[in-house]
Amino acid sequence: MKRSNTYNFSWAILIMAIVSMNFAFAYGSAFKKDTIYSHYKKLKSKPSYLKSGLPFALPPVKPGAISSVKFPIAKADDKLLSDVEVYPNPIAATDQLNLKYVVSRNTNVSIKIMDILGNDIATVFQSRTVDIGEQKLSYSLNGKLSRGFYFVRIAAGTESVIKRISVL
């Protein structure tokens, strides 16, 4: 019996507190002694946040509004090394090997020729910093490679591209 009366009494007090707070916010009696209210009392119209009964202003919500602030976000498809071309292919053992590639950031680049087993045959180019943009490079074979298949590995930063060439 005592527990049910205490339970009902606490609910009644909670409901009376909520109703009294609702009246206080609705009629603005809670703000009459507040410095914010006395500052805006001199104005002809009350600010919108005092009309709503909230002691703070909420930002306006505009559906479909697009922010003009741009944040640089690295995308998964943002490649450091792209558009790699090795030509002519097939190539004669006495010709020049031409390479063309695009780098999107300043980075270190190394270009190596490997045999089928993955052994390094020749280092064509190696640099710590390569400028942004399209890069072109020519490498004279002059009989350094015998007939067969080889791979050209272009590594830029943590990315690498491997192209197959055949020497006639």
pTM for this one? 0.53
Question: Quick check: 30 pLDDT over 50?
Answer: no
Yes or no: say if 117 and 148 are a contact pair by the CB < 8 Å rule: no
Mean pLDDT, the chain, whole residue set = 77
In this model, does residue 49 exceed pLDDT 80?
no
How many residues comprise the chain? 168
With a CB cutoff of 8 Å and minimum separation 6, the contacts of 139 are 96, 97, 98, 99, 122, 124, 125
Whether 83 and 160 have beta carbons less than 8 Å apart is answered as no
For the cut 70, the answer to whether the pLDDT of residue 118 exceeds it is yes
Question: Which residue did the predictor score with more confidence, 7 or 61?
Answer: 7
Using CA atoms, how far apart are residues 112 and 162, in angstroms rounded to an integer? 10
Q: Does residue 106 carry a pLDDT above 60?
A: yes
What percent of the chain stands above pLDDT 90?
27
Q: What is the pLDDT of residue 55?
A: 58
